[in-house]
Chain A
């Protein structure tokens, strides 16, 4: 694919998506209300945020071959630090943003420097442990900052007006779209840059990279910090979208769902993970709605009960995808078989 063509298609797609808030189109079954209503825009914005987040995870896993079970930590970081700075420390929005960005670079630098000293399963476990530590810290509610189990609502008065209030949902939609677009562009650029080529070389054969006189550690750390920073940015967007911080972004469960998103979409592609994230989020929300719908309530209780839990449907769906479409959705539209799962195997064996 020529370099220009590589950019034209995404440009067109993102451009088209920017027009959605202007559309008074009604898509029955897929959406509860027409496309330009706050309800639907909120849902689409969420899908875009998680699509972008899934892509940041893919940068780490699909492109560099680093299997992390703690990526959610950096997303939660973005959500909680920004929220705490504004609500508990009473900072203005811009300083809070700057501080979050700072932490979003320093923390992955520190934790990554430590975690990357090991590889394979050990690396996966260390990242899981750090994320779990973060989760515990949030629940412990030190100085009453995090709100513990109940989460923390944001102080609206500190946020930029453009993002507050239900009529401004379209601005939040554009923000989310912007986020997804930025992540896409950054990942695209990073992957085709020379460090990016080295990341992919590391994923294929780390030994060979060492033999060439390069230190894989430095490049892995680069990828780790970049992916984590982008995830933190996503966390801030998510915070604005929801208006508060909740604990469900901190659990190990959340990183597992990231893994599900990325596998469903197909790793190592620019748009596979993006698509996976969007579809998963969409399915998660719509299944909650569908489960209380008329059609489902007609079903006999042994069918109806499990269907009312979106995570059950998604878990089963995931199992089916793994059995029958192991390359993810990206595989269905591709000539060359993406070696999604081979990469996971390589990551584990390192």
Chain B
């Protein structure tokens, strides 16, 4: 029983990270019709931004060092994503294919750059000791970082939802996901919404990168790509453009991965997720939420 609880909380923790990445991907695809392969680069940039900042603040105490590092990771990720949209994506407005291809090139180039500068090996990331300790719940020893990941994802989900439902840009984005042309026919310049969605996606992805640093204890160049593939699967299972579908799918994927890895055999978890995608798509091509572009 205690193992089951540990697996469940860990699965939710992973699902939290997948959700953070997938939410941005889903919005970007829903609104702009772009499969953003560069999203992995946003994760990597956020993760390395955090590590880099921490390295340069090695003199101070762990908690402020960690928090400043995390903040720096978010800022760097958000700024990077915004610049990508303005410099690479916006000039290719309405040339969807070129936009997708550009993100592919960027994905390859960013990982290569990171490897060039910091090498291929994993680097340790400092975090407050409390995060590596465990809390006992019904006999299960849960590493404390899981709580942070789950909490963060819940906060982000609520914040994103509030943004979409209560602000004008949120309204524009919701409408744009349904029918981009009609939004322009109302006199609204959707391109600003595009940049905003990229920025939000970038910050969320960077947040996932920061959290993954805590979860794994290290940062490495392939982190972004591996998280991205799972995020893609989550987005498609959940239904492109649907925030709630993405959240549900992220939970399912995280849990399936953990349970299969333990109860079946190690490594089978990743395989099961992939099979899950295949099954969902064949049974219900529109994903869990039924909305599909």
In-complex A–B contact (CB below 8 Å): yes
Question: What residues make up the interface of A, taking CB atoms closer than 8 Å to B?
Answer: 114-115, 117-118, 121-122, 124-126, 128-130, 132-133, 136-137, 139-140, 252-253, 256-257, 259-260, 263, 305-306, 308-312, 314-319, 322-323, 326, 341-342, 344-345, 348
User: B66-74, B180-188, B276-284: which one contacts chain A?
Assistant: B276-284
Chain B residues with CB under 8 Å of A326's CB are 95, 98
For window 102-133 of B, CB contacts with A under 8 Å fall at 102, 104-113, 115-117
When the two chains form their complex, are residues B101 and A263 in contact, meaning their CB atoms are under 8 A apart?
yes
Contacts of A345 in B (CB 8 A): 96-97
CB distance from A303 to the nearest CB of B (A): 11
- Considering the complex, give the chain B residue whose CB is closest to the CB of A127: B278
Q: Besides the contacts A126-B282, A128-B232, A133-B271, what 14 more A-B pairs have beta carbons closer than 8 Å?
A: A114-B278, A125-B233, A125-B277, A126-B278, A129-B233, A129-B278, A252-B225, A253-B108, A259-B104, A263-B101, A309-B116, A315-B109, A316-B109, A318-B101
| Pairwise interchain contact A126-B281, C-beta atoms closer than 8 A | yes
Measured CB to CB, the residues of B under 8 A from A are 35, 37, 88, 91-92, 95-98, 100-102, 104-113, 115-117, 225, 229, 232-233, 236, 240, 267, 270-271, 274-275, 277-278, 281-282, 285, 292-293
Cα separation A309 to B105 with both chains bound (whole Å): 14
Alpha-carbon gap, A315 to B267, bound state (A): 31
**B236 A125 Cβ-Cβ under 8 A:** yes
Q: Collect the chain B residues with CB atoms within 8 Å of residue A139's CB.
A: 267
Partner of A322, one of B37, B101, B116, B281: B101
Considering only CB atoms, which chain A residue lies closest to B237 in the complex?
A125
Q: Are B233 and A341 in contact (CB under 8 A)?
A: no
Ranked 5 nearest A-B pairs via Cβ? A315-B109, A312-B112, A315-B108, A311-B112, A318-B105
Chain A interface helix/strand/loop/mixed? helix
- CB pair A322–B98 under 8 Å, yes or no, is yes
Q: What is the count of residue pairs linking A and B with beta-carbon distances less than 8 angstroms?
A: 128
**Residue of A130, A133, A314, A322 touching B108 (CB-CB under 8 A):** A314
Decide if B98 touches A308 in the complex (CB within 8 Å).
no
Q: Collect the chain B residues with CB atoms within 8 Å of residue A306's CB.
A: 112-113, 116-117
Residues in B neighbouring A256, C-beta threshold 8 A = 37, 104, 107-108
Kindly list chain A residues whose C-beta atoms are within 8 Å of the C-beta of B282: 114, 117-118, 126
Q: How far is the CB of A4 from chain B (nearest CB, A)?
A: 35
Q: Which residues of A contact B233 (CB under 8 A)?
A: 125, 129
Residues of B contacting A122 in the complex (Cβ-Cβ under 8 angstroms): 236, 281, 285, 292
Q: Return the contact of B275 from the options A124, A133, A311 (Cβ within 8 A).
A: A133
Q: How far is the CB of B108 from chain A (nearest CB, A)?
A: 4
When chains A and B are docked, how far (Å) is the Cα of A216 from the Cα of B122?
Answer: 48
